[in-house]
Amino acid sequence: MRSICRRGLLLLALPFLLLGCVGPGLLSDGSSVAMGSFNNGALRRGRKLPDEGPGFVVPNLWKERSANYGTDEIVSAIMRAAKRVAKELPGGTLGVADIAMKGGGESKLHRSHENGHDADLIYYAIDDEGQPLAPVSAMPRYGAGLRSQKARPTPGVLFEEFTPRKFDVRRNWALVRALLEDPEIEIQFLFIHSRLRHALLQHAKDRRENGELIERAEAVLKQPGDTLPHDDHLHLRIYCSPSDRALGCRDGGPLRWWRKRYKYMPPRPRYDSPPLLSSLVSSRNSVRTLR
């Protein structure tokens, strides 16, 4: 009888023992897992953004780099936003540059983009007649008069030549609005040059957009002070999802909008029993980088 009981206990414990063997980060529902932070992290089971889809495309330069992996949340949000902009303002195509490498981790070209929560979105552009222009394998900078300038030189990167263009205020605002109104993500930052930020916010005010939406846009649209000014692309960064936060994802910086929602979220699940599961989660949270 004692032998039978021991066998039964072993069978009950086996799934948890197997989880312990495969290591931290695999304890999830099978979806993507953002680990660590945006500048010291990794990405497990990252989802690949398709090379193209309704309203968006990954230009050849970034397609060949294969850095278009992210969490399920950010990849789905980009696809939804691009599709919405294309429906509201037909003709434009969103260019998507780097998100993260397949397993996340360090990148030679970025100080972030490590856990699948960052994405570089190439600004929509128009010609002098106001007609939308397709994105190319380059990141035009937009200066005075919102007109394009040469792409910023980047070591090891050969940008494609492009025709003169202007920053498309209407579609770029529609993109910001679509991302902010997406209920499936919480945006921490949309990094952008202050000149372009002003143009978008003024456009929103002229359109008499919802006041709370404009307030949120003012809060998340920021020109960073410790890196390039982002006059050539919009840098999207989202907060950790509740499930990833429980598995070791860490948010850094201000939590203003996330806290507002988190206040009404159900309490974080407890892992009191069995003990092995609790210790596994603790070890998972201690992981800083997994390549």
Q: Which residues contact 51 (CB under 8 A, 6 or more apart)?
A: 57, 58, 63, 68
Instruction: Give the start-to-end residue ranges of the domains of the chain.
Output: 38-285
Beta bridge partners of 141: 149
Contact 29, 59 (CB under 8 A): no
Quote the pTM value: 0.79
118 in helix, strand or coil? strand
pLDDT tens by residue, the chain, 291 residues: 545 554 554 455 444 434 433 344 445 567 899 998 787 888 999 999 999 999 999 999 999 988 999 999 999 999 999 999 999 999 999 999 999 989 875 676 667 778 889 999 999 999 999 999 999 999 999 999 999 999 999 887 889 999 999 999 999 999 999 999 999 999 999 999 999 999 999 999 999 999 999 999 999 999 988 778 899 999 999 999 988 998 889 998 766 554 555 444 444 333 343 333 333 333 333 333 322
In terms of C-beta distances under 8 Å and separation of at least 24 residues, what long-range contacts does 164-168 make, across chains too? Answer: 164/127, 164/128, 165/125, 165/126, 165/127, 165/133, 165/140, 166/125, 166/126, 166/127, 166/128, 166/142, 167/123, 167/124, 167/125, 167/142, 167/196, 167/199, 168/92, 168/123, 168/124, 168/125, 168/126, 168/132
Q: What is the pLDDT of residue 225?
A: 81
CATH assignment, 38-285 = 3.30.1380.10
The two structure tokens encoding residue 215: 């307030």
Contact 270, 7 (CB under 8 A): no
Q: Which residues contact 148 (CB under 8 A, 6 or more apart)?
A: 125, 140, 141, 142, 162, 164, 165, 166, 167
Q: What is the pLDDT of residue 273?
A: 36
